[in-house]
């Protein structure tokens, strides 16, 4: 991304499993937005989205780019015949949906950036949030699912496909026999700690769980194992944890983060010598500065990055 | 690394937990080498090393650079007062050893490159081995310890410190109560699958273990869990597994790799859609092309990269 395109007017589409958040603007301080439910009719949802972007363009002026941040799995390989598609999504109605093509047909002359929702949120935090100025950090979201994005050497990590951090495997707390909720892996990180996992384990939504409920002790322990693992695999300068579960309802966000920080230190047991993992751990494991806007801001950044 | 320095004469020091491998040369086809045991007297070992490099310089001409690839943890931050040190190593005699300083005192005018042994081996495989041409891959070594290095976007991943992949935590196989051998984490990946772990579990060296011994089934299962995790965290195009344990003695290297490939596929359970993880997994999880020379070749590459 060249700096000259940083503050230009672009459109943003954050395609989530529950809702599409659309925006036009130049950054977090300048966003007009709207939302549409992710109904089981992709063609209709996508024309609601493009109609709205067209209206905004009439009001605010020509969009210089459009960024699309979508739930996956996605085809991100530019040479591929299905580039820009949502591919094998568990949301059946959205399988094999050409989301980039639908936008390009309406805006043929506007460059389009496309990435996963969690990669976009990572980019948003890198540009305007708690990842600003860092060369290496990880953004994790814990909500309906668990996902993670990484900035490595200042660039988004893509690799073979894209990371699927929520599906990593972690040790069990002795005596915990909860089978997990992941249809692919049962008790992977997502299977143990996503919002639906907390609900299935406790019968309560995360927002309703009493602070002393065992589900919080277990979730923070498993999250700490996974964070310790991502520290050992990726050596980030910071780990940002977003998503709805991290708000931690009656337990409170700060208490939730403090439990995770302490348990990460116990898991690593002083092996990696760095102030960031020891006396400065309060600045190492943090919530997103952009809060719930990390994704839509990331889509803005994707749109700006798409400008040649 | 600028290409012009690719084939110049440099010195290489691969500081391993068991032995120091020293070499001078220009690449894998041109290496003179020797070895010294990693005795509990760092000053003496390091003067054996610098003496030998001095002798080689008299015979072959001026070394243009020296690369040092060392077991860790290391301080790799150039501004730090302990840059070039082995820091909190489990090898007590080597804790807080200024390995770069010891080399610089003897060769004050020669640029020195310094990285972890496993990062160097990763660089060696990227330059001359099974990582050549790849933008994103992981190199893992399983021997006295377990370590991993990653090339991400064509560059070595460093981050906050450097990866410590061997110290990641994995699920237990039900019924396996082996306490592990890691002094920091007990039954982390290294604690369960390193050479000393196999020895403690079975009473036999890896080379002597019968193919049907349970220790192989367990080790390949745990390695598969860890490889599945690194696939989900880093999305590599390939995973190269080196080190002594992967030779797998009486079991045989090919059988060992095949067991890991099958168990990785079971662990991922088809979630990540890519030919590399399915029909092409035989080319996805492979031994190093440079074999046991990945580390020393990587130290050559580090020495060449240090030349301004």
| Chain A residues with beta carbon closer than 8 angstroms to that of B177 | none
Contact between chains at B158 and A136 (C-beta distance less than 8 A): yes
Residues of A with Cβ-Cβ distance to B87 under 8 angstroms: 273
| Partners of residue B27 on adjacent β-strands | B30
pLDDT of residue A1: 43
The nearest alpha carbon in chain B to A87 belongs to: B273
Structure tokens at B239: 């995973």
**Residues in contact with B135: Cβ distance below 8 Å, sequence separation at least 6, in sequence order:** A159, B151, B152, B153, B154, B237
Q: Is the pLDDT of residue B2 over 90?
A: no
Specify whether the CB–CB gap between B91 and B38 falls below 8 A: yes
* Chain A partners within 8 Å of B157 (Cβ): 136, 152-153, 234-235
The reported pLDDT for the residue numbered A17 is: 85
* Residue of chain B with shortest Cα separation from A164: B232
DSSP per position, B251-268: T-HHHHHHHHHHHHHHHH
**What's the pLDDT tens digit per position in B217-245?**
999 999 999 999 999 999 999 999 999 99
Residue B4, pLDDT score: 54
Q: What is the mean pLDDT of residues A101-105?
A: 97
More confident residue, A272 or B260: B260
Chain B positions touching A229 (Cβ under 8 A) are 168-169, 229, 233
User: Is the CB of B235 less than 8 angstroms away from the CB of A159?
Assistant: yes
Q: Which of B88, B158, B233 sits opposite A168 (nearest CB)?
A: B233
Q: Taking CB atoms and an 8 Å cutoff, what residues of chain B touch A224?
A: none
Res A298: pLDDT = 97
Could you say which of B161, B228, B231 has the minimum Cβ distance to residue A274? B161
Q: Given this model, what pLDDT does residue A80 score?
A: 93
How close A50 comes to chain B (CA, Å)? Answer: 29
Contact assignment for A233 to B229 by CB distance below 8 Å: yes
- Nearest-Cα distance to chain B for A276, in Å, is 8
Is the model's pLDDT at B133 over the cut of 80? yes
State yes or no: pLDDT of B180 exceeds 80: yes
Q: Is the pLDDT of residue A193 over 60?
A: yes
A26 and A9 Cβ atoms separated by less than 8 Å: yes
Half-sphere CA count of B145, side-chain side, radius 13 A? 25
What local confidence, expressed as pLDDT, does residue A53 receive?
Answer: 98
Reported as a single tens digit per residue, the pLDDT across A238-260 is 999 999 999 999 999 999 999 99
Number of neighbours of residue B152 by Cβ within 10 angstroms: 25
Of A163, A237, A276, the CB nearest to B234: A163
Q: Which of A272, A276, A283 to mutate to test the interface with B (most CBs of B within 10 A)?
A: A272
Say yes or no to pLDDT of B3 above 80.
Answer: no
Contact criterion met (CB < 8 Å) for A73 and B273: yes
Question: Are B271 and A184 contacting, i.e. CB atoms less than 8 angstroms apart?
Answer: yes
Chain A positions touching B237 (Cβ under 8 A) are 159-160
- Which candidate from A73, A160, A170 shows the least CB-CB separation from B171? A170
Q: Is the pLDDT of residue B18 over 90?
A: no
Band of the pLDDT at A2, cuts 50, 70, 90? very low
| Distance from the Cα of residue B101 to its chain's centroid | 22
Tell me how close the Cα of B136 comes to any Cα of chain A, in angstroms. Answer: 5
Shortest alpha-carbon distance between residue B56 and chain A (Å): 36
Inter-chain CB proximity A232 and B171 less than 8 Å? no
> Which residues in chain A are contacts of B169 at CB distance < 8 A?
170-171, 225, 228-229, 267
Q: Which of residues A220 and A16 earns the better pLDDT score?
A: A220
Kindly determine whether residue B273 and residue A157, on different chains, have CB atoms separated by under 8 Å. no
Q: How confident is the model at residue B73 (pLDDT cuts 50, 70, 90)?
A: confident
Q: Give how far Cα A269 sits from Cα of A90, B78, B88, B159, B186, Å.
A: 38, 25, 12, 20, 11
Check whether A146 has a pLDDT greater than 70.
yes
What was the pLDDT predicted at A133? 97
For residue B90, the model assigns a pLDDT of 75
For residues A244 and A15, give the distance between their C-alpha atoms in angstroms, rounded to a whole number.
Answer: 17
Q: How far is A180 from chain B (nearest CA, A)?
A: 14
Averaged over B197-207, what is the pLDDT?
95
Question: What average pLDDT does the structure give for chain A?
Answer: 95
Residues with Cβ within 8 Å of residue A287, at least 6 apart in sequence: A130, A240, A241, A242, A246, A253, A257
- Does A267 have pLDDT greater than 90? yes
Pairs across A and B, CB distance < 8 A: 156
Query: Is the predicted pLDDT of residue B160 greater than 80, yes or no?
Result: yes
**Nearest CB partner across the interface for A170, out of B136, B169, B273:** B169
Q: Which of B3 and B137 is assigned the larger pLDDT?
A: B137
Question: Is the four-CA dihedral A259, A165, A275, A125 of positive or negative sign?
Answer: negative
Q: Mean of the pLDDT values across residues A283-305?
A: 96
Compute the distance between CA of residue B101 and CA of residue A49 in angstroms, rounded to an integer. 61
What is the rounded average pLDDT of the residues B12-33?
A: 95
Helix (H) or strand (E) holding B61: none
C-beta atoms of A235 and B163 within 8 A: yes
Give the confidence band of A5 by pLDDT, cuts at 50, 70, 90.
low
In this predicted model, what pLDDT tens digit does every residue of A8-52 receive, in sequence order? Answer: 999 999 999 889 999 999 999 999 999 999 999 999 999 999 999
Please indicate whether, in this complex, the C-beta atoms of A169 and B171 are within 8 angstroms of each other. yes
Residue B1's pLDDT is: 43
* DSSP string for residues in A86-140: E-S-SSGGGTTEEHHHHHHHHSTTS-EEEEEHHHHHHHHHHHHSTTTT-SSEEEE
CA of B248, closest CA in chain A: separation in Å?
25
pLDDT at A244: 94
Distance from CA of B301 to the nearest CA of A (A): 20
> Which residues from chain A sit within 8 angstroms of residue B167, using beta carbons?
232, 268, 271-272
CB contact under 8 A, A161 and B272: yes
Is the confidence at residue A127, as pLDDT, over 70? yes
Q: Which residue of A has its CA nearest to B164?
A: A232
Residue B256 pLDDT: 98
Range B55-84 average pLDDT: 94
- Going by pLDDT thresholds of 50, 70 and 90, the confidence category of residue A111 is very high
């Amino acid at each position: 991304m060249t700096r000259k395109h940083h503050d230009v007017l672009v459109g943003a589409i954050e395609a989530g499993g529950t809702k599409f958040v659309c925006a036009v603007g130049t950054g977090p301080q300048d966003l007009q937005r709207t939302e549409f439910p992710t109904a089981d009719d992709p063609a209709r949802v996508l024309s609601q989205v493009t109609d709205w972007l067209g209206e905004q363009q009439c009001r605010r002026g020509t969009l210089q780019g459009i960024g699309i941040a979508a739930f996956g799995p996605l085809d991100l390989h530019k040479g591929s015949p299905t580039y820009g598609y949502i591919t094998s999504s568990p949301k059946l109605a959205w399988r094999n949906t050409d989301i980039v093509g639908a936008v390009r047909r309406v805006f043929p002359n506007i460059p389009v950036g496309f990435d996963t929702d969690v990669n976009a949120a990572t980019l948003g935090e890198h540009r305007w949030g708690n990842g600003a100025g860092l060369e290496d950090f990880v953004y994790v979201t814990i909500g309906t699912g668990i996902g993670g994005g990484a900035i490595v050497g200042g660039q988004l990590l893509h690799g073979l496909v894209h990371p699927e951090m929520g599906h990593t495997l972690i040790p069990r707390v002795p005596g915990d026999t909860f089978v997990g909720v992941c249809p692919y892996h049962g008790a992977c990180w997502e299977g143990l700690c996503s919002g639906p996992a907390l609900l299935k384990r406790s019968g309560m939504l995360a927002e309703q769980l009493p602070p002393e409920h065992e589900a919080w002790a277990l979730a923070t322990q498993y999250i700490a194992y996974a964070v310790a693992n991502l520290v050992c695999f990726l050596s980030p300068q910071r780990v940002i944890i977003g998503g709805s579960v991290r708000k931690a309802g009656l337990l409170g966000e700060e208490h939730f983060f403090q439990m995770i920080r302490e348990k990460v230190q116990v898991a690593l047991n002083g092996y990696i010598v760095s102030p960031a993992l020891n006396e400065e751990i309060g600045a190492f494991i943090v919530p997103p500065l952009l809060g719930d806007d990390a994704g839509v801001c990331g889509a803005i950044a994707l749109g700006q990055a798409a400008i040649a």
